[in-house]
Chains A and B, each alone.
Chain A
Amino acid sequence: MYRARIERDFNLWVEKGLLDRAAAGAMLAEYDARPSSFSAGRVLMVLAGVLLAAAVLLLVAANWEAIPRVARVVGIIGLLWAAYLGAAFSLSRGAVAIGTALLVLATMAFGGAIALVGQMYHLSGDSADALIVWFLVACAATVLFRSGALAVLCGALGWWIFIDLVFESDASLEGNGYIFLVPVLVLIIVALVRYTGAGIARHLAYLLMLGWLGWLYTEAPEAWLAATYFGIGLVAFLLAVLPFSPLRRMADEAGAAPAFYSFALALLGLIALHMEMEYLWQDVVIGATALAVSLAGIGLAGRLNGAVRFLGYAAFAGELLFLSSETIGSILGTSGFFLISGVVVAAIAYAVIRIERRLAARPATGTEA
Chain B
Amino acid sequence: MKAFLSKPAILNVWVSAVIIAALQTAILGYMIESRAAILRNGHDVVLQTVPVDPRDLLRGDYVILSYDISTIPLDKLVDTLPQEETDAQLSVRLAKAEDGFWHVREAAFGTLPPLEDGSVVARTQPFYFYPQPSGSQTALSVEYGIERYYVPEGQGKPLEEARNAQALSVTASVSDTGVMQIRTISIDGKPLYEEPPF
Contact = CB atoms under 8 A, between A and B. Distances in A.
A84 B25 CA distance: 12
Contact of A122 (B17, B28, B128, B149): B149
Contacts of B198: 69-70
A147 B20 contact: no
A91 B5 contact: yes
Interface stretch (A35-43, A217-225, A334-342): A35-43
A198 B13 contact: no
A147 B21 contact: no
B147 interface: yes
Interface in B81-95: 85-87
A96 interface: yes
Interface string A63-77: 101000110010011
A117 B5 contact: no
A199 interface: yes
B3 A77 contact: no
Nearest to A96: B5
Interface residues of A, number: 57
A182 B85 CA distance: 23
A122 B182 contact: yes
Interface in A105-120: 106, 110, 113-114, 117-120
B79 interface: no
Question: Chain B contact residues (Cβ within 8 angstroms of A): what range?
Answer: 35 or more
A365 interface: no
B21 A38 contact: no
Contacts of B2: 36, 148, 197-199
Contacts of A4: none
A73 B32 contact: yes
A144 interface: yes
Contacts of B62: 119
A100 interface: yes
B86 A121 contact: no
A125 B19 CA distance: 26
Contacts of A63: 152-153
B87 A144 contact: no
Given A36-B6, A122-B195, A84 B17 contact: yes
B163 to A, nearest CB: 16
B11 interface: yes
Contact of B5 (A70, A106, A145): A145
A43 B62 CA distance: 39
A146 B11 CA distance: 10
Interface string B146-162: 11111011000000000
A120 B7 contact: no
Interface in B47-67: 60, 62
A92 B31 contact: no
Contact of A96 (B4, B143, B196): B4
Contacts of A137: 20, 23-24, 27
Given A96-B4, A122-B150, A174-B85, A145 B9 contact: yes
A81 interface: yes
B181 interface: yes
